[in-house]
């Protein structure tokens, strides 16, 4: 035995001292005011500044306003390689999986350096590491570089004025602000960096993917117009789900965000979803997202990352877009959950319907070039069929997706002002909300596949207290104005609330307004879902806007930023159930909430811990409407049953599911709110 050991010892020693093939670079610093601070990679400059107490959390109060200077500065990161054990090989490669913003990369060796420039957040970049390289520096250029001087982004670079400067650089569009998101354009090394002895292949193509079933999209001419129906193993299926936005304004694949992914996707599954649409104004999601969707059997409609703007067709931009498309299709295509690739969100819609052509006074030659750019990238000239085989994005799918999943050019096929929006292809119906139409409009404006629609609500007061100072708990406070990104948001909610409930933000306390705004959202968006389900097979899918938030905000989401289910998510769970009784919902929607008779609420409530879980039983001694249960003090999470009605003599049992499994639930009290109280207090 000793002899065997001594024979093997040199091999064991060699194995222990052998250089690694792959070294991840995690020890980084960033420079601020001439000093160097520790940085977290993967990460963003905002998260590093927060971690080093240089800026406050921009999600709290009105702090978003105070950090706008960050995006106007140059930022430099550095990593020291001198003490690292590097891989063996004649040529080593440094690989950046993702750089957010225009970046200058310096690889220092002695008195010299190699310089690289990169400008696409959604691409992986690799470069040979010079012999003797002992330091890497990455400098990010401010995004306002694009809009300095005489309309630089319109004329100096491209020569044609464009509706939005975001089109000029390939970063996550939503980080520049949206009507549900903060304006926090940022920079950083947002994905892994590593040194390896072989260059990552850009030409690999998957040959086989294991999937449980075959899903296909059929768009067929019929007596109505053009269908939009998914088939699983040859049988038509009705799609039930929502639109997905990034889980955070700074969307790194870290533990905190992974917790959000798990919570949101399991909540989607719990509510009966079978599909999510990854909206094209965010990011190409991390593999972790797709892994979870694979395991949960959630289908994914995957937008390419182009949204609500026109894009230049300069050679540099087209080459960057091509590389982005090929890299991301190769990566994402290995996930069987993906069932559809879509070229963009609302680009055709904007071109045709949003007044751009009049506002920018394009010449006929410029219009022709802009249309050609849309065709080159997306396949715009093929939108009548909604298929393309020749565009950059279509070719990426053809060349890199071994399952040949379908590619459509755009979503929606027709904007909500066109009669075809209810007869041809998928539809984004925004007459309700943007057009301030009543919810009943959904009955006549149900398209062949409803891929966007919805209505806003506020988070509950317990959520608002987590980001709003106590002295600003009123609807028009600076904080709540900062966390309502739609310019007419409060007014639109007030108008609908008056119609269906008989009061508004001026006649209610903030707590009651937030509560009723959620009832209103559930009532209205739920009515749309009810109509879509009811009108099968004319309509074969419903994806409401939107499942989640990227920060705490008033929005269309059914789950707030902190993981609390809104009333809408409970309503969706009922409507998406395989056992949904449409006749009962027909009766429910036959009367407005404001016209019901409300008794003084009378009930008994008991809470106890069973098998480590908080279980609440409420027994109704009068008819109760929209019973909302919460923990006191509030713990982020949801009950498996909430916002329910009870007849006198009925009881409901609800189990609490905290966001944090280690939350202390043994000593919490239970608070109850009913619509009865609000109605009787008018």
Reply yes or no on whether the pLDDT at 18 is more than 70. Answer: no
Q: Averaged over 323-339, what is the pLDDT?
A: 97
Q: How confident is the model at residue 482 (pLDDT cuts 50, 70, 90)?
A: very high
pLDDT score, position 15? 43
Grouping H, G, I as helix, E, B as strand and the rest as coil, residue 221 is strand
Instruction: Give the up-direction half-sphere exposure of residue 476: CA atoms within 13 A in the CB hemisphere.
Output: 5
Q: What is the pLDDT of residues 405-461, one digit of tens each?
A: 999 999 999 999 999 999 999 999 999 999 999 999 999 999 999 999 999 999 999
Q: Identify the weakest region by mean pLDDT among 8-17, 154-163, 172-181.
A: 8-17
Contacts of 669 (CB under 8 A, 6+ apart): 607, 631, 632
Reply yes or no on whether the pLDDT at 384 is more than 70. Answer: yes
Three-class DSSP labels, 485-540: CCCCHHHHHHHHHHHHCCCCCCCCCHHHHHHHHHHHHHHHHHHHHHHHHHCCCCCC
Q: Averaged over 14-23, what is the pLDDT?
A: 64
Task: Give the CA distances from residue 228 to residues 238, 239, 256, in Å, rounded to whole numbers and listed in that order.
Answer: 11, 11, 37
| Residue reference for tokens 């995004």 | 143
Grouping H, G, I as helix, E, B as strand and the rest as coil, residue 314 is coil
pLDDT score, position 10? 47
Query: Rounded to two decimals, what is the model's pTM?
Result: 0.94
Instruction: Tell me the C-alpha distance between 219 and 409, whole Å.
Output: 13
- In the chain the first and final C-alpha atoms are separated, in Å, by 89
| Residue reference for tokens 């890199």 | 400
Residue 51 region by backbone torsions, left for phi larger than 0, else alpha for psi between -120 and 50, else beta: alpha
| Residue reference for tokens 């390419």 | 304
Q: How confident is the model at residue 535 (pLDDT cuts 50, 70, 90)?
A: very high
Q: What is the pLDDT of residues 92-126, one digit of tens each?
A: 999 999 999 999 999 999 888 889 999 999 999 99
Reply yes or no on whether the pLDDT at 679 is more than 50. Answer: yes
Task: Provide the percentage of residues in the chain whose pLDDT is more than 70.
Answer: 94
Are 494 and 506 contacting, i.e. CB atoms less than 8 angstroms apart? yes
Burial class from Cβ neighbours inside 10 Å (0-12, 13-18, 19+) for residue 419 reads exposed
What's the token pair of residue 221? 């001419």
Give the residue from 551, 503, 557 showing the smallest Cα distance to 525.
Answer: 557
């Amino acid at each position: 035995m000793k002899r065997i050991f001594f024979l093997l010892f040199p091999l064991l020693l060699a194995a222990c001292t052998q250089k690694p093939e792959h070294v991840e670079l995690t020890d980084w610093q960033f420079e601020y005011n001439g000093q160097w601070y520790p940085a977290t990679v993967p990460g963003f400059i905002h998260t590093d500044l927060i971690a080093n107490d240089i800026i406050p959390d921009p999600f709290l109060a009105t702090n978003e306003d105070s950090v706008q200077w960050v995006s106007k500065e140059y930022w430099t990161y550095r990593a020291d390689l001198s003490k690292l054990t590097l891989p063996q090989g004649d040529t080593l490669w440094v690989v950046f999986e993702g750089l957010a913003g225009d970046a200058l990369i310096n690889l220092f060796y002695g008195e010299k350096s190699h310089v690289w420039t990169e400008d696409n957040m959604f691409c992986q970049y690799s470069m040979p590491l010079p012999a003797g390289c002992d330091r890497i520096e990455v400098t990010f250029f401010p995004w306002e570089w694009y809009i300095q001087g005489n309309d630089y982004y319109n004329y100096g670079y491209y020569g044609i004025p464009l509706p939005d400067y975001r089109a000029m650089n390939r970063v996550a569009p939503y980080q520049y602000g949206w009507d549900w998101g903060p304006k926090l354009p940022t920079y950083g090394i947002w994905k892994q960096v590593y040194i390896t002895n072989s260059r990552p292949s850009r030409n690999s193509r998957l040959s086989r993917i294991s999937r449980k079933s075959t899903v296909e999209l059929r768009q067929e001419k019929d007596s109505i117009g053009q269908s939009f129906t998914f088939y699983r193993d040859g049988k038509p299926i009705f799609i039930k789900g929502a639109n997905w936005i990034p889980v955070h304004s700074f969307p790194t694949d870290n533990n905190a965000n992974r917790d959000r992914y798990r919570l949101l996707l399991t909540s989607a599954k719990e509510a009966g979803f079978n599909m999510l649409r990854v909206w094209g104004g965010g990011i190409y999601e991390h593999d972790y997202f797709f892994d979870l969707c694979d395991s949960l059997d959630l289908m994914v409609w995957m937008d390419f990352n182009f949204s609500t703007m026109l894009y230049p067709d300069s050679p540099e931009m087209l080459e960057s877009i091509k590389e982005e498309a090929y890299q991301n299709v190769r990566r994402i295509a290995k996930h069987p959950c993906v069932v559809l690739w879509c070229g963009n969100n609302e680009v055709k819609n904007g071109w045709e319907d949003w007044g751009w052509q009049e506002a920018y006074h394009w010449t006929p030659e410029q219009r022709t070039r802009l249309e050609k750019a849309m065709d080159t990238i997306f396949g715009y000239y093929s939108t009548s069929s909604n298929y393309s085989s020749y565009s950059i994005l279509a070719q990426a799918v053809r060349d890199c997706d071994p399952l040949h999943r379908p590619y459509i050019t755009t979503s929606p096929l027709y904007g909500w002002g066109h009669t075809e929006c209810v007869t041809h292809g998928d539809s984004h119906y925004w007459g309700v909300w943007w057009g301030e139409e009543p919810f009943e409009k959904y009955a006549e404006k149900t398209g062949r596949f409803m891929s966007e629609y919805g209505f806003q609500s506020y988070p509950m007061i317990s959520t608002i207290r987590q980001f709003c100072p106590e002295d600003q708990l009123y609807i028009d406070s600076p904080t709540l104005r900062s966390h309502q990104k739609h310019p007419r948001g409060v007014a639109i909610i007030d108008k609908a609330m008056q119609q269906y409930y008989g009061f508004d933000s001026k006649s209610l306390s903030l707590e009651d307004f937030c509560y009723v705004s959620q009832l209103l959202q559930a009532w209205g968006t739920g009515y749309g879902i009810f109509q879509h389900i009811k009108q099968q097979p004319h309509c074969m899918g419903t994806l409401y806007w939107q499942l989640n938030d990227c920060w705490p905000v008033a929005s269309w989401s059914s789950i707030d930023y902190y993981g609390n289910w809104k009333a809408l998510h409970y309503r969706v769970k009922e409507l998406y159930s395989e056992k949904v009784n449409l006749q009962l919902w027909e009766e429910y929607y036959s009367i407005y909430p404001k016209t019901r008779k409300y008794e003084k609420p009378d009930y008994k409530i008991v809470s106890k811990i069973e098998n480590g879980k908080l279980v609440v039983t409420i027994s109704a001694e009068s008819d109760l409407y929209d019973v909302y249960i919460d923990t006191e003090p509030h713990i982020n999470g949801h009950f498996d049953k909430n916002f329910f009605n009870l007849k006198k003599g009925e009881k409901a049992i609800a189990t609490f599911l905290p966001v944090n499994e280690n939350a202390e639930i043994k000593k919490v009290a239970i608070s109850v709110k009913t619509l009865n109280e609000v109605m009787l207090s008018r």
